[in-house]
Amino acid sequence: MTYFTQFLIDGLAIGSLYVLVTIGFTLVFGVMGLLNVAHADLYMVAVFVFLGVAQDLHFGIVLGAIAGIAAAGLVGALLFWQVIRRIDRNRTLSMFVATLGVSYFLENLVAKFVQFRTEAVPPLFQSKFYDVSNLHFSTGQIVLVGSTLIIAVGLSQWLRRSNTGKLMRAVSENTHLAELVAIDTVRIMAIAVILASVIAGIGGLLVANTTLSVNPFVANDVSLKMFAVAVVAGVGSVDGALVVGLFLGMIESLTVGYFGSQWETVIGLGAMIIVLLVRPQGLFGKRLRVG
């Protein structure tokens, strides 16, 4: 039973990564109808900018973290204004190909700068390790899971209660009607993309604080899980992304612990396929999806 509980604790940390990346993707695609395949790469960009500012330029951890998050937001803004906005959001395949190209560009650009190496990441803060009833966890894991819950729940409530969140839901419901009542739809979409990018940047730094390493192509594996979590949750459901992301992390942790790492992706994604066979709209799609 102790091993089972330990695997669940480790799985919460893994699932937090999926949640932090997926809720931004869900906000942009599910709520705003914009498909941004390059979203997971913003997580990687934030960490490498953090390394450059904190280590190479010697500005310290705090300024490095701020620069990393700001860089993710800036790249997200550039991506929106220079790529996403120029493509009709109803042309999903065109949006997919364009943002996929941006993803490859970002990955290979960063890879050239670091000579395709996996880089060590300095911790954002000193992490203590605890041993309670033979269960092991760290301060970094606590901060990661706690921050994930705060961001996911806060974003969900913000979409429901704030004026800007309500405007996003209105734009998602019907863009043309929103424009007829003088809603600046372009500005609202830009806010959604930038906010999602900032969340991805925060997630990247929090996860790197626990793994203490990053490579330029880390988004490749993360993107697959991002799509899977978003679809199974019901695209557009921030609450669903939180539940499904954490659940997937725990399933993968249990799989690695009991069956080996070679079954990690097979069982995790297999469970999601079974869910979609029963509920094609996703677990939370019918109740929470906007639009």
Q: What is the largest CA-CA distance in the chain?
A: 61
For residues 226-245, give the mean pLDDT. Answer: 86
Which 8-state DSSP code applies to residue 117? P
| 125 within a domain of the structure (yes/no) | no
Phi, psi of 128 (to 5 degrees): -95, 150
Collapse the DSSP code of 214 into the 3-class scheme (helix H, G, I; strand E, B; otherwise coil) and give the result: strand
Structure tokens at 151: 């961001």
Please list, in sequence order, all residues whose beta carbon lies within 8 angstroms of the beta carbon of residue 45, skipping any fewer than 6 positions away.
Answer: 68, 71, 72, 75, 106, 110, 201, 204
| 133 within a domain of the structure (yes/no) | no
Determine the Cα–Cα distance for residues 159 and 164; give it in Å rounded to an integer.
7
Average pLDDT, rounded, for the chain: 88
For residues 25-51, give the mean pLDDT. Answer: 89
CATH code at position 52: 1.10.3470
| 287 within a domain of the structure (yes/no) | no
Residue 39 has a pLDDT of 93
Is the separation of the CB atoms in 159 and 168 below 8 Å?
yes
Residue 121 has a pLDDT of 93
| 171 within a domain of the structure (yes/no) | yes
Residue 246 has a pLDDT of 92
Number of domains in the chain: 1
| 134 within a domain of the structure (yes/no) | no
| 155 within a domain of the structure (yes/no) | yes
Compare 197 and 272 and report the one with higher pLDDT.
Answer: 197
Residue 50 has a pLDDT of 96
Residue 291 has a pLDDT of 42
For residues 234-258, give the mean pLDDT. Answer: 87
Give the model's confidence band at 286: pLDDT under 50 very low, under 70 low, under 90 confident, else very high.
Answer: low
Residue 138 has a pLDDT of 86
For residues 260-281, give the mean pLDDT. Answer: 81
Domain that holds residue 160: 2-119+139-282
| 128 within a domain of the structure (yes/no) | no
For residues 106-121, give the mean pLDDT. Answer: 93
Is the separation of the CB atoms in 99 and 79 below 8 Å?
yes
Residue 1 has a pLDDT of 66
| 86 within a domain of the structure (yes/no) | yes
DSSP notation for 125-182: SPPPEEEETTEEEEHHHHHHHHHHHHHHHHHHHHHHHSHHHHHHHHHHH-HHHHHHTT
For residues 112-121, give the mean pLDDT. Answer: 92
Is the separation of the CB atoms in 135 and 216 below 8 Å?
no
Checking if the pLDDT of 261 tops 90, the result is: no
Tell the burial category of 268 from Cβ atoms under 10 Å away from its Cβ (0-12, 13-18, 19+): buried
Q: Whole-model pTM?
A: 0.90
For residues 210-234, give the mean pLDDT. Answer: 87
